[in-house]
Structure 1
Amino acid sequence: MNFHQEKFVRFQDWTSEKKVEPLYSPDDEIHAGKFRRTIHSVSMKFQRGLESGSERIKKSWKSYSFDGVIAKSFGSRILDPQGPFLQKWNKIFVLACLIAVSLDPLFFYIPVIDDKNKCLDLDRKMKITASVLRSFTDIFYIVHIIFQFRTGFVAPSSRVFGRGVLVEDAWSIARRYLSSYFLIDILAVLPLPQVVIIFIPKLGGSKSLNTKNLLKFIVLFQYVPRVIRIYPLYREVTRASGILTETAWAGAAFNLFLYMLASHTYLQSTTTRLEEMRVKRRDAEQWMSHRLLPENLRERIRRYEQYKWQETRGVDEENLICNLPKDLRRDIKRHLCLALLMRVPMFEKMDEQLLDAMCDRLKPVLYTEESYIVREGDPVDEMLFIMRGRLLTMTTNGGRTGFFNSEYLKAGDFCGEELLTWALDPHSSSNLPISTRTVQALSEVEAFALKADDLKFVASQFRRLHSKQLRHTFRLYSQQWRTWAACFIQAAWRRHCKKKLETSLLEEENRLQDALAKAGASSPSLGATIYASRFAANILRTIRRSGTRKARVPERLPAMLLQKPAEPDFTAEEQ
C-alpha cells in the first residue's frame, strides 16, 4: 500500500512539476507552453535512452573485450580450446596466415636493375615495406605460440562419454605442443628475410647478388612451414564451429582470397614463360638489326622461333631429359625413339643393348617449311628419323643434264643413311660421306637426329653389329643403293638397245650386199650395176647416220652413271 502511495506521490510530484509552468503563463501563451512541454519531454526520453544504451555498450564491451576474456581465462591459468576466445583467435590467425603467405613474394621484388649504373641493386622502399609487413604478420605467429603453451587439451583416454576431461597441467601441455607443431611454428616465425636484408648488405663482396640468392632460398624455405600450418588449423576451426566465417559475404571473400592466391601462382608461372619468350624475341630482333639481315632471313628466323615455342612452350627438352637418372632417361628415349629406329631395316636385327645406346644419343630437332636439311654434295653429319611432317628428296647426280630422281618422305621414314656405311666400315676415313641428294622440308618437321660421331661411337663399341647379313640389307633398303641400282638398270637397258640396233644395222647391210652381188651377176649391163651399188651405199649411209644419232645418249650414259656406293669391308672382322 505504501509502495503504491510512494509511486503515486512521485508520479504526482513529477507531473505537478511539469504542470507548474502553465499556471504562471498568460492565457494567450497556452499553445506555446504546450509546445515547450512536448519538446522537453522528448529530450528527457532521448537522454534516458542514451544513458541506457551507453550502459549496455559498456557491459557488452566488458563481456567481449579480449582483456576481460584473457584476464578471466588466465585467472584459471589455462585456456579452454572450445572457448569463444580461442575460437575467434583461431579464425583471426587463419586469415593472418593467408595474408602472410601472400605477402612473402614481395621479397622477390627487392632486387632490381639499376638502369643508370647497369648493375643489380636493392630497392630501399620495397625493403622497408616488405620488412614491416612481414614483422607485422610475425606478431600473430608469436602470439599464437604463446597461446599454444596456455591452451589445454582433452585427454584421449577420457573421450568415452561426453566432452572428456580437460588437461590443465602446464608441463603436459608444453610436452604435447613441443612434440607436434612447435618446430613448424618456429621455422615459420623466424625473421630470416629481415636479417638477410639488414646484415648481408653490410658485408663485403657482391651484396646485391648474395642478397638475391639468399632471399630466394629463405623465402621458399619458410614458405613450406607457413603453408603446412594453415591446413590443420583450418580443419580445427571448421570442426569446432562448423564454419570459418559467420556470414555469407565473409565466406565468399575468404574463398575469393584463396582463389586469387592460387591463381596468382599459376599466372606468375605463365607470365614468366611468356616474358622469357618476349626477351628472346627482342634479343633476336636487336641482333638481326645489328647485322643488317635482309627481310627474308628475318622472316625465316621469326618463323622458326615461333614454331619452336609452339612445340616446346619454352621447355628445353634435351636438358630436362639429360638431368634425369640414367634408367629413367633410357625408358623415356625408348618410348619416344625405339619405334622410329625399328623402322630402319638395318636396325631390326640389333639387340636391345645396342638400340638403347642409339636411343640415348638421339636428339630432337625442328625444321620449318621450305627449309633445306641437307644439299646434294654437302657432307652428311647426321641421320634423321622423322616423327611428323613431309620432306622431298631430289637427286640430280651433280646437276648433270638428263638425270633427275625424287622421292617423298613422311612420318616414320629416315634419311642420311650414307652415315651407316661410313660408321660401320672399320677402314673408313675421318672425312664425312658426301650427300647424293637434296632433302627439303615441305611442311613443319619434327624429328630425331643421330649425329655422325654418336653413330661412329656406337658402331665402335658394338663390333658384333658388323656381320655378313647387313650387306644384303644395305643393298636392298638403302636409298643410295636403290638409286644407284635404278641408274645401273637403265644403263644396262640402254646398252642392250644399242647392241640390238647395231645388230639390226649389220644384218641389213649384209642383206643389201647380197642383193647387189646377185644383181651384178644376173644383169649384163655395167651401168645398172654401178647405179644399184651407189643406191645401196646411200641407203647404208643413211641408216648408219640414223643409228649413230639414236646411240648418242647410250654413249654418254657411262659418264652420267652414279658412282657405286661404298660397301663396308668386313674382312678384318671376319679374320
Structure 2
Amino acid sequence: MALAVDPLFFYALSIGRGGAPCLYMDGGLAAVVTVLRTCVDAVHLCHLWLQFRLAYVSRESLVVGCGKLVWDSRAIASHYVRSLKGFWFDAFVILPVPQAVFWLVVPKLIRDEKIKVIMTILLLIFLFQFLPKVYHSISLMRRMQKVTGYVFGTIWWGFGLNLIAYLIASHFQLPTGMVGDPCGGNSTMVRMPLCLDVNGPFNYGIYKWALPVISSNSLAVKILYPIFWGLMTLSTFGNDLEPTSHWLEVIFSIVTVLSGLMLFTLLIGNIQVFLHSVMAKKRKMQLRCRDMEWWMRRRQLPSQLRQRVRHFERQRWATMGGEDEMEMIKDLPQGLRRDIKRHLCLDLIKKIIREGDPVLRIMFIVRGRVKRAQSLSKGMVATSVLEPGGFLGDELLSYCLRRPFIDRLPASSATFICIESTEAFGLDAAHLRYITDHFRYKFANERLKRTARYYSSNWRTWAAVIIQLAWRRYRMRTLGPVIPAATENGGSERRLRRYAAMFMSIRPHDHLE
C-alpha cells in the first residue's frame, strides 16, 4: 500500500486542453493522495512507536547461549535509537516530503513557469525517498519472516506478491517517463494544435504513449492506462520503446528492460517452485503405486488382495493426501502430541499403558489420579488408584537392573487408565538405563530398596494379597472357619483356596537384591 500511493502524486500534474495547453495541479486528486499517504504514514508511525516497547535479543548473550531478552524500557529505546537501520531509517521513510513539495513548492514553480525545475524535483523525490522505501519494505518483510517463520500463509500469496510487484512497477513506469520535457527539449515555436499531437513535428520518442494520459482529465484513464503500458513494456522487455538520442530516455529505456527481465525471471522462478510443490505429492503417490504394483506382481499376490491394496492406497490418498499422521506429528513436543492424540482419539489416550504392552518409560505422577487394573486368575481384577507422587512402569527398573542384560522391553503387568486430567513426568528406557549403569552402587542401599518397593504398584498389589491371605488364615485359626467344617472335602478345599490365592499374585522381581 505504501509503495502504491507515492506514484499517485505524479497524476496530480495535468495539462489543460480547454485553451492553451497549460500545466496545472489537480487539487482534488492531490488532496486525496495526501490523505492516503498520511494514513499510511500513521500506520508506520504506530510501528515506530511499537519498536520502543518491543524487547530484543542481546547480541552479547548469543556468544555463549541461546539469547537473552532485554526487557528494560530504557535499554530498548537506546538500542533502537542507536541503530541506523532502526529508528532513523524508519523515521526517514515517513517524512512528508511529497506532501510538502506538492503543496508548498510545486504551485510556486508553476506560477513562475519553471516546468523543468518541477520535473527535476519530482525525479529527486523518487530517488531520495521512494527507492529507500522499497528497501525498507523488503527489510521489514524479511524481519517478519525471521520472527514468525513466514509472512503469508499459503503458496498463492507468493504468486500474488509477484503479481503485485509487477503492477507496482508498471504503475510507476509511465508516470516516471512522463516526468520530462514534453516537447523533447525542442525550443522551436509551433502552433498550439500540433503541440500534443503524436503525428506532429516533435519527436516524442518514448513519451508518445504519455500524450493520451497527460491530455486527459479522466482519473480512470490516468491510472489504468499507465498500468496497461507498464505491464506491456515490462512483459515485452521494452520492445515497444523507441527512444530518441536524448541520454535520459536511453537510460530510462535500459532500466525498463532490465526491470522487466528481473521481474519476469522472478515470476517464472516462483511459478516453477509453486508448480513443483503442488505436483510433488502427486508424483510421490504415482511412484508409490508403481512400486506397489511391481511388488505385488513379483510376489504373485492374488487379484483380490491386489484390489484391496489399491483400494486402501486410494482411500489413504483421498483422506490424507498420502501423508502419514504419526509421521507428521512425531517431531512435535510430547505435550502437543498428547493433546493432538487426545483430540483425535480420546478413549485410547486414556489408557496410558495396557496390560501386556511393552513399557517404554517410567512415569511419575505430578497431578491427577490414575487407576491401575491388574488381571488375576479366574477373571478377577485387582484395582488401585495412584495419587500424585506415585509412579508407574516400575517393570522398567527391573529391566535395567537385570544382569545379564536382555535387550527386550518388559511387558506391563497392569492397565493404567487416567481417571481425570493427569500430568506426569516420563523417563525413557534409555535414560533410566544410563542412570542404573552409572549409579548402580546406589541401588545396593537397603533404604532405597525399601522405598522403591513401598511406592511400586506391583509390590503393593502383591503385598495386599499376601496380607489378606494371612489375615484370613489367622481368623480361621483363632475364630474357626467361616464355613462349617463338616463338608465333604473341607481340608482339600481350604488348601486349594490357599494355593489359588498364592498363585493369583506372583511375587514381583525387581533385581534389587
Q: Would you call these one fold, judging by a TM-score over 0.5? A: no
| More helix per residue | 1
Larger Rg: 1
- TM-score under structure 2 normalisation? 0.39
